Amino acid sequence: MNRQGRVSPGTAAPAEERSCSWLNIWVFLTFALVIKAALVTICLVVPFCHSSDQPTALQQQFSEWKCDSALPKGTDRGWLCCPKGWRRFQRSCYFLSTDKMAWAESEQNCTGMGSQLVVINSKAEQVFLSEQIKREPKRENFHIGLFAEKVGQWQWVDKTPYNVTAAFWRRGEPSESPDENCTVMHVPGEPLNNWHDVRSDLLHHRICKAAAVTV
């Protein structure tokens, strides 16, 4: 006869002991999954995992990010990140404001966020933004980074050469008025050709643009 409290070889352990063993395993696995999820979240929501890189001006201004897997397989980094509330297209992030400012203040505001008033480089980008500005909440005009120091001498804020054949002016625009030396995207206008020149002191919404952060 076995002594009380001991189990002879080939005899199953009591149900209480088996329950405790499985409970310990589940607790360990759950803890491990929580730690893994936390590490992934840190790397994706706060894109500073690559300590060898200098943080961009955009990274220095924001702490909450949204990341998407958008790079080809086999690359060292597979996520493109934009600040929370911004919209991504290809490798750029865009901020569409709900408040209004004059053109110079709009440019300063974008710069303060580590970005600039949007410079439109392609028809695809123009199409994307033309779709975005029509989304809720309803707004009418958005400042972009195109201005003229003299009548007809249009230039982008980042010094990108202005190409009239790749411009998207509304019919009859731009005007020859020396007072209308800044540009907006006009929401009620045509889907593609919606640029309109305006006075720099008028208050409008704005579109800021910055390069997406790669992690």
Q: What is the pLDDT of residues 104-121, one digit of tens each?
A: 999 999 999 999 999 999
Answer yes or no: are the C-beta atoms of 70 and 80 closer than 8 Å. yes
Question: What DSSP designation does 169 have?
Answer: B
Determine, yes or no, domain membership for 28. Answer: no
Instruction: Report if residue 210 sits inside a domain.
Output: yes
Rounded Cα gap, residues 11 and 214, in angstroms: 58
| Count of the separate structural domains present in the chain | 1
Instruction: Report pTM.
Output: 0.75
Residue 97 forms part of a structural domain: yes
The range of the structural domain enclosing residue 173 comes to: 88-214
136-178: per-residue pLDDT in tens?
A: 999 999 999 999 999 999 999 999 999 999 999 999 999 989 9
